[in-house]
Structure 1
Amino acid sequence: MFGRTKKQSAGPRTVTLIGKPGCHLCDDARAVVREVCAETGAVWEEKDITRDAELHRAYWEQIPVVLVDGEQHTFWRVDADRLRRELRG
């Protein structure tokens, strides 16, 4: 499968943005994630750490955090080109 795992080849890639309301870095990350997912056909979702104690414990000091297929891809600042490369794998 040339660099893609079985999990990744089962369907579209999934990007998860973990953040919180009122976070300007989260707003910036959301714009990048939305644009790159639209270009690549990946689906994306957003999770609010203020509504999930487990996510809060895991990521409070890193938000925004971006996961790709459940694995941490980046935090704080999202590089569109890097995310594109990951999703096109």
Structure 2
Amino acid sequence: MEGQPDDPRITLIGRPGCHLCDEAREVVSEVAEELGVGWQEWSIDDDDALREQYWEEIPVTLVDGAPHDFWRVSPDRLRAALRRAPR
């Protein structure tokens, strides 16, 4: 979706109108561009299973499919996670 590679390493789970999601999107976009990795975004409004699992924690970031952060995204932690080899 947003990133370059076909297999995005970062997934941002949020919803429209969420100010923390907007902030997380900016951090994810900047770090992904800086490191040349792909990312995608999913909305809990479009998926009942995601809503049930994450509604109290959005925004949630996954790196290589594993939970990474929720509520706030630390650019430094995200960079460090992305510098490790994908699983």
The alignment's TM-score, normalised by the length of structure 1, stands at: 0.85
- Which has the higher Rg, Structure 1 or Structure 2? 1
Match of 1:28 among 20, 23, 41: 23
1:49 corresponds to? 44
2:56 is aligned with 1:61: yes
Q: How many residues align?
A: 79
> Counterpart of 2:11 in structure 1: which amino acid?
T
> Percent of pairs identical after alignment?
57
Unaligned runs of 5+ in 2: 1-5
Query: Which secondary structure state, in structure 1, belongs to the residue aligned with residue 13 of structure 2?
Result: strand
Deviating beyond 2 angstroms after TM superposition, the runs of 4 or more aligned structure 1 residues are: none
Please, what is the CA RMSD of the aligned residues? 1.4
Structure 1: runs of 5 or more not aligned = 1-10
- Give the TM-score normalised by the residue count of structure 2: 0.86
Cα distance 1:86–1:16, how it changes in 2: closer, same or farther (>3 A)?
Answer: same
